[in-house]
Structure 1
Amino acid sequence: MKANLLLASALFVCAVPAFCDSSIVVSSPQASATVGVPFVLAATASPCSGQTVSAMGYSLDYGATAFVYAASINASVTAATGSHTLHVKSWGNLGAGCDTDVPIVVSASAPPGQYTDVTVSQPNNGAELVSGFTLAASGTQCDSQAIVAFGFSVDDSSQTTFAMGNSVNAPVSSPLGAHTLRVKSWGNQGAGCVTNVAINVVPSPVSQLPSNAIAVPSIQNLVNWQAGFDTGTGGGASSSGVTVLTASPSLSGSSREFYTTSANYGGERYDIQFGADTSTSNFLYDGWFYLTGSSANIANLEFDLYQTMANGQTVIFGFQCDSWLGTWDYTANAGTPAAFVDEWLPSTQTCNLNNWAQNSWHHVQIEYSHDANGNATYHSVWLDNVEQDLNITVPDAFALYWGPTLLTNFQVDGWTEGESTSTVYMDNLTVYRW
C-alpha cells in the first residue's frame, strides 16, 4: 500500500503557489530566477504531514520524476531554454506526499550553476538537536573540482572547523535556538561550496529534570540480571543469552555485555529489578549502547520499563527500534487491565539499526509518563543527541499481580531464520523518576 501511495504522490503538482508545502525549502534556484544550463537544484525537506521524510524528488513541468532517498537534494539539472515549473517533492515514511513549485526561466546566456554533490547525512534539515550532535557529510565534487577538504560553522561565525579529505564526521557545539549549520567544501583548485542545514538546538533532557528527580545510576552493574527467551517472538523461534560485566569496550570502566544466540527471529529478554517505587509517574531512560559488526543479525532492540502503580496494576512502557518497519515502536494494551492484549504500534518517527554505526557507542534517551489509571504517554526519544517527538498517549496498564516493582528489560531480537549470534554492550544506564 505504501508503494502505491508513493507512486501516486509522484504525480501530483502544486498548481497554486499559495498552497505549496512549506515543509520543503528550495535554496536554489529562487522562484522566478533566470538560470543557466545546467542549473543547480538544492532543497531540503522537514516532516511531510507529520511523517519523517524518507525520499525526495523533482520534475520539470509534467516530466518524469527523479528520486533521491534522502531528506535533501543537491543535483545538477539540464533543461531546454524557456519558462518551466520545477516541482520539488517529498514523501513521508508512511506514504504522505508533499510538493512545492518553483517557476524558473532557463537561458543559454545565463552562467551554469555551481554544482556540488555534497550530501549531509546528519543532521536532517529542521532537526531538533542537543549540542554535541554529530555532523556527517561527504562528497566528491565542488564546482567540478575534486573535494579535498571540508569545514563547518554555525550561522555566520568566523570560526570554521576544518577536516581534510572528502568527508567529515565530527561533533558540533552550538548555543540553544534556531541556527543555520553551514557545511563547507573546497575543491583542489580553490573552488568553495556551501550546503546549509537549518537546525534547532534544544536543551538536554537531563538538564530539564526537576530538582526532586531520583536517579538510579549504573544499572548495568547490578548483579541480578536475568536472561530468558521471549515467547512472544513467535512459534518456532528460539534464543538463548549470556550477560556479563566487562571492562572493554566501556565508557565508565564497567559495561555489560549481552551475547545472544537466536534462530527463526527469536528474541532474548534481559531484565533487572532496580526499585519498588509505586508513587512516581514520570521517567527518563538514559543509556549508552555499543553495536559490533554482529548488529547485522539484530532486527530490534527493546528498551522497556515496568512499574507497579499504587493501584496494584503494572504499567509497561515498551519501546523499541524496529528495523523491520524502520520506526520507533511502542506498546499499548488493546484490551483491559484484567483481559489485556499487549500490542506493538509503530510511531511516525524513524529508527533502523542498520543506520547505527558499528563499533561505536550510541546514546539512547526516552521520556515517558503515566496517569493514575496507567495511561502511558511516550513523549520523546533522543538518539545520539537528535530529538524525535512522539507525544502519544495509550492505555498501558496490566493486572499482573506483581508486588511493588521497578524493572527494566533490554531485549535483542534476531533477524535471521537460521541460527545467528550478536553482541551488544550497555553502559551508564540511568533511570530518572519523579
Structure 2
Amino acid sequence: MKILKVSALAAFLLFGALVPAIAQVTVYSPANGASVGSPFTLYAVSPYCSNQPVTAMGFSFDNGATQIYSGTQMDGPVTEAAGGHVLHVKSWGNQGSACMTDVAITVGATSAAVPSNALSNGNLQAASNWTAVHDAGTPGSSYGGTSLTGSPSRSGTARGFLTDYSYYGGERFALHFGSDTAAQNFLYDGWLYISGSSAGIASIEMDMNQTMPNGQTVIYGFQCDGWSGTWDYTANTGSIAAPKDQWIHSSQPCNVKNWSVNQWHHVQIQYSRDTWGNVLYNYVILDGKQQYIGAKVFSAFALGWGPTLITNLQIDGATSGSGSSNIYLDNLIVYRW
C-alpha cells in the first residue's frame, strides 16, 4: 500500500482531533511496555472508529509525522531510533471520526524483554511429564529417551534428549505445561547444548501450541533448518477444518552445524497471535544476536483439543543411514501476556 507522509498538524486538520478515550484500534504487536529491536513489526487492526467504517490507518512516534495507509489493517516492519518512544497508532472513519491507541516501547533492545504483567512458566525442562514420539511427518524411524542431569547444566537440573534415528527420522519431545486461552503474546526462552557432535542433526525444532477461546489450536512452529540454512516457521496453508501444516523459510540464517558443540546456546523466540489465529513471528535471538523475522501467517487448526499449552522440542536426523544425537535443555521459561 502507498505510504503518505504528512505532518502531525496536517493530519489533525485533515482528519480531525484524535480521541484516545474512545479508541477502537487494536494493536497486537508490539505490546505496551515492550523492548524491541529495529526494525520491529507493527500489527494493528481497526475495522471501525466511533461506529464508522475505517478507511485509513496510520502511526507516528512521539510528536513526529504520521505515516498513513489505506485500509483497516497495518502489518509490516517499522524502524525507529534507539530509546524510549510512544507509538501512536491511529485510524479514521469514513465520516471523519478519529481514533488512537498509544503504545510505550523501548527501541534498541539486544535481549528479549517482557512486560511487567506477563505470566511465566519456568524450569520447564525439569517437569516430569515430558513424552517422546516419532514424528510421522518425517521419514524413517526414530526413538527417543529423556532424563534429568546435573552435568552439563546451568541450573543444576538440565534435561537430556537422546535420539536414535534411521533415514532422516525425527523425534518429538512434548510437554503439556498448563492452559491459557487468553494470552496472545509469547516468549520462548531456553538454553540448548549439543553434546559431542552435530553430525546427526539436521534441524532443531522449538514449537508451542495453544488452544484459543473458540476451541481452535494455534501452532507456533519454529526451527533452525540445517537443510536450507534458515530459521523457519509454520503456517496452515489449508483451512481450519482441513489444515495443511507447512514450513516456510525466513530470510534469516541459521544452521545447527554452525552451533559450537559442548557449549550452551541461548535461544529466545517471540511470537504473537490475533483473535482469528493469525500468528506473527516477530524475532529470534540466538546467543545475544537478534534476527528480525516479521512474518504474519494463518496458523489455526480445528484439532478438537481442550484448553492446553504445549511446548515441543524436536530433533530431525541428518543422514539416510542410522545415527544419533544428544541435546540438553536448561532454564526453559515460557512467558505469556
TM-score by length of 2: 0.68
1:380 to 264, 272, 283: 283
- Are residue 403 (structure 1) and residue 306 (structure 2) matched? yes
Counterpart of 2:123 in structure 1: which amino acid?
S
For residue 211 of structure 1, report the CA deviation from its aligned partner. Answer: 1.4
Q: Is the 8 A contact 1:240 1:268 kept in 2?
A: yes
1:115-148 Cα offsets, whole Å, 9 max, x none, are xxxxxxxxxxxx98xxxxxxxxxxxxxxxxxxxx
Percent of aligned positions that are identical: 54
1:424 to 303, 327, 330: 327
* Structure 2 stretches lacking a partner, 5+ long: 1-36, 39-80, 84-106
Which whole-Å CA distance do the structure 2 matches of 1:340 and 1:214 have between them? 30
For residue 204 of structure 1, report the CA deviation from its aligned partner. Answer: 2.1
RCO higher in structure (CA 8 A, sep ≥6): 2
Q: 2:148 aligns to what?
A: 245
Counterpart of 2:199 in structure 1: which amino acid?
A
1:38-92 Cα offsets, whole Å, 9 max, x none, are xxxxxxxxxxxxxxxxxxxxxxxxxxxxxxxxxxxxxxxxxxxxxxxxxxxxxxx
Q: Which has the larger radius of gyration?
A: 1
Q: 1:69 aligns to what?
A: none
Q: 1:202 aligns to what?
A: 109
- Are residue 218 (structure 1) and residue 134 (structure 2) matched? no
Partner of 1:354, secondary structure, is helix
Counterpart of 2:129 in structure 1: which amino acid?
N
Q: 1:285 aligns to what?
A: 188
1:324 to 227, 234, 237: 227
- Are residue 433 (structure 1) and residue 336 (structure 2) matched? yes
Partner of 1:294, secondary structure, is coil
Which whole-Å CA distance do the structure 2 matches of 1:257 and 1:204 have between them? 26
1:230 to 116, 135, 154: 135
Q: 2:255 aligns to what?
A: 352
Which whole-Å CA distance do the structure 1 matches of 2:197 and 2:210 have between them? 32
Partner of 2:137, secondary structure, is helix
Which whole-Å CA distance do the structure 2 matches of 1:336 and 1:247 have between them? 45
Which whole-Å CA distance do the structure 1 matches of 2:197 and 2:108 have between them? 33
Which whole-Å CA distance do the structure 2 matches of 1:352 and 1:204 have between them? 21
Partner of 2:193, secondary structure, is strand
Q: Is the 8 A contact 1:294 1:421 kept in 2?
A: no
Q: Is the 8 A contact 1:286 1:431 kept in 2?
A: yes
Which whole-Å CA distance do the structure 2 matches of 1:264 and 1:203 have between them? 39
Counterpart of 1:363 in structure 2: which amino acid?
H
Q: Is the 8 A contact 1:287 1:364 kept in 2?
A: yes
Q: 2:293 aligns to what?
A: 390
Q: 2:167 aligns to what?
A: 264
Q: Is the 8 A contact 1:349 1:388 kept in 2?
A: yes
Q: 1:368 aligns to what?
A: 271
Which whole-Å CA distance do the structure 2 matches of 1:316 and 1:201 have between them? 29
Counterpart of 2:268 in structure 1: which amino acid?
Q
Q: Is the 8 A contact 2:110 2:289 kept in 1?
A: no
Which whole-Å CA distance do the structure 2 matches of 1:291 and 1:351 have between them? 15
Q: 2:205 aligns to what?
A: 302
Q: Is the 8 A contact 1:369 1:377 kept in 2?
A: yes
Which whole-Å CA distance do the structure 2 matches of 1:321 and 1:263 have between them? 20
Q: Which runs of 4+ in 1 moved over 6 A?
A: none
1:211-242 Cα offsets, whole Å, 9 max, x none, are 110010000010000000001012xx100000
Partner of 1:293, secondary structure, is coil
For residue 201 of structure 1, report the CA deviation from its aligned partner. Answer: 6.0
Q: Is the 8 A contact 2:111 2:290 kept in 1?
A: no
Partner of 1:220, secondary structure, is helix
1:167-222 Cα offsets, whole Å, 9 max, x none, are xxxxxxxxx969xxxxxxxxxxxxxxxxxxxxx9634212xx11110010000010
**Alignment size in residue pairs:** 236
